[in-house]
Amino acid sequence: MAHLILASSSPRRRELLEQLGLEFEIHSPDIDESIQNNETAQDYVQRLAFQKAYAILKNYPDAIVIAADTSVAIDDKIIGKPESKQHAFDIWQKISGRMHDVVTGVCVATRHQNVQSVVRTSVEFQHLSLIDMENYWATGEPLGKAGAYAIQGIAAQYIPRIEGSYSNVVGLPLHETVQLLKAVKVLN
């Protein structure tokens, strides 16, 4: 089996990749994640996935690196992760009672090639009352999460439907990741 590395410290991505039965190491890349001027959510996640993969690949040139980046967007504007309680409340007010997109860029890279995919899932978030927001914030779950929620956790109660890949919303679209691994001959 090839030396496989997941370029992420995300426990959710690790758990998702483990579901595939793959053996891999974890190395977290250190890259600048600033959004560039007029960068769409799709362009942003694709660029970051690529940069993460190559940041790891330069130290492990014989490896196959899986890298991903996930963002939440409304009208193709990236929402980001909450920096404070007020910021989380502002995010929830934007997504409350409407659909938003979860966009993930995935890059599988080797020394000789890279293949990429961008996956978009639409998520409906119910209208949240101030009490809902206070209660959800008190759980601690929204911290460090794109869009200030985790679909695989307590926030599932606020999401009546999604259109697209569930694993994408968690942080790694498994179907598309498998297709990329097949393209670089890691999987048959």
- Catalytic residue positions? 69
Block residue for tokens 């209208």: 127
